[in-house]
Amino acid sequence: MTATISIVIPTHNRRELLLRTLASALAQEAIDFEVVVIDDGSTDGTAEAIRVLNDRRIRVLRNERSVGVAAARNMGVEAARGAWIALLDDDDLWSPQKLQQQLGAAKATGSGWVYAGSVEVDQHGVIFSGDPPPSPKKLLASLLDKNLMPAGSSNVIIRADLFRDVGGFDVRLRLIADWDLWLRLAPTGPPACVPQPLVAYRFHFGQSTLDSYSMIAEGRIVAERHGANLNSVRRWLAWSYLRRGERFSALREYARAGFDGDLSSFGRAAVVALHPRPMTVRRRFRGGGLEWQRSAESWLRPLRDK
């Protein structure tokens, strides 16, 4: 089977989430594609569930023991037959027009990597947040300070030869390998952007427990390699803790960032400590508002009904 684009999905013990993700991948319109699933040591019947789908567009690579998400992604890209690689996590969702629109943007601009806009949804696929994406210029200008890529790896398509040229994912990085990859892609030229909500980033109870020690350790690797801002990792940790309702942990990470020189984090810490409902102190939409959410809802609704 030949394919214009290879969709690479690493997975580990998330059978039910993966099946919904696969449904959104297999629904891509007007494009030749294959799906490469890397079953990274799953013990929950993932391989059998995929086999039941009986879809010849799907190939499954199996690791008897888990090698980690970065190595699994690299394994999938190595086996990919497409000229383009589309990264997709096993718990996120796509608009059926995502790949078509991103490849169109790549052709129009000549860029070797492309991202789009996103929304954030709960475990049932209901939207609770989302903003238009930053421009390529803003994303690149901010990249050393913070990772502004909406929805992380699930958003981006990359020319396969370019992915291999920059060395793929660093297998030492489990939590912020995508940020490191964007920093290595940046010198090759700016990405293209499709400013529409084509990705849904899912928050759910099965997501990995936050590991602050590993996150900071990985942040130090990225900081030493690229000169990136380690406090960006602490701010991300704090915000993630706050989303989970872990106010004390969020306060701790904001305070650590503040004492390490990120003075604005002291203000965030004050809000977390003093505001009765700190999660209600939210940034405003950057122009999308209800129209942005409605656009995503139009393709999310059929996925919820499956």
**Does residue 285 have a pLDDT over 50?**
no
**Does residue 2 have a pLDDT over 70?**
no
Q: What's the token pair of residue 24?
A: 């959104």
Note the pLDDT of residue 81.
96
Residue whose entry in the numeric block shows the structure tokens 């070797």: 112
What is the sign of the dihedral through the CA atoms of 90, 222, 41 and 58? positive
Q: What's the token pair of residue 214?
A: 């590993």
Report whether 82 contacts 33 (CB < 8 A).
yes
d(CA 296, CA 292): 7
Question: Dihedrals φ, ψ of 195, to 5°?
Answer: -80, 60
**Does residue 126 have a pLDDT over 80?**
yes
Tell me the pLDDT tens digit for each residue of 162-181: 999 999 999 999 989 999 99
Domains assigned to the chain: 5-206 (3.90.550.10), 212-280 (no CATH)
Parallel/antiparallel/unpaired status of strands 113-121 and 157-159? antiparallel
- Work out the number of other CB atoms within 10 angstroms of the CB of residue 212: 17
d(CA 295, CA 62): 37
The residue among 86, 287, 296 whose CA lies nearest residue 199 is: 296
Q: What's the token pair of residue 67?
A: 């090698």
Read off the pTM: 0.91
Q: Which residue has the higher pLDDT, 32 or 205?
A: 32
Residue 68: pLDDT band with limits 50, 70, 90? very high
Note the pLDDT of residue 286.
43
The residue among 187, 120, 112 whose CA lies nearest residue 156 is: 112
- The answer for 71, left when phi > 0, alpha when psi is -120 to 50, beta otherwise, is alpha
Note the pLDDT of residue 217.
94
d(CA 253, CA 240): 10
Note the pLDDT of residue 205.
56
d(CA 148, CA 286): 14
Q: Where are the alpha helices (DSSP H) in 143-246?
A: 160-165, 177-185, 212-226, 230-243
Tell me the pLDDT tens digit for each residue of 74-84: 999 999 999 99
Note the pLDDT of residue 72.
98
Q: Tell me the one-letter amino acid at 10.
A: P
Contacts with 139 (C-beta within 8 Å, 6 or more apart), sequence order: 115, 133, 148, 149, 191, 193
In three-state secondary structure terms, 44 is coil
Report whether 153 contacts 87 (CB < 8 A).
yes
Structure letter (DSSP) for residue 56: T
**Does residue 283 have a pLDDT over 50?**
no
Residue 211: pLDDT band with limits 50, 70, 90? confident
d(CA 95, CA 36): 19
Residue 303: pLDDT band with limits 50, 70, 90? confident
Note the pLDDT of residue 296.
94
Q: What's the token pair of residue 142?
A: 């901010």
Note the pLDDT of residue 149.
97
Q: Which residue has the higher pLDDT, 130 or 42?
A: 42
Tell me the pLDDT tens digit for each residue of 11-40: 999 999 999 999 999 999 999 999 999 999
**Does residue 208 have a pLDDT over 70?**
no
The residue among 41, 182, 204, 43 whose CA lies nearest residue 124 is: 204
The residue among 236, 204, 240 whose CA lies nearest residue 93 is: 204
Angle at 73 between CA 11 and CA 118, to 5 degrees: 75
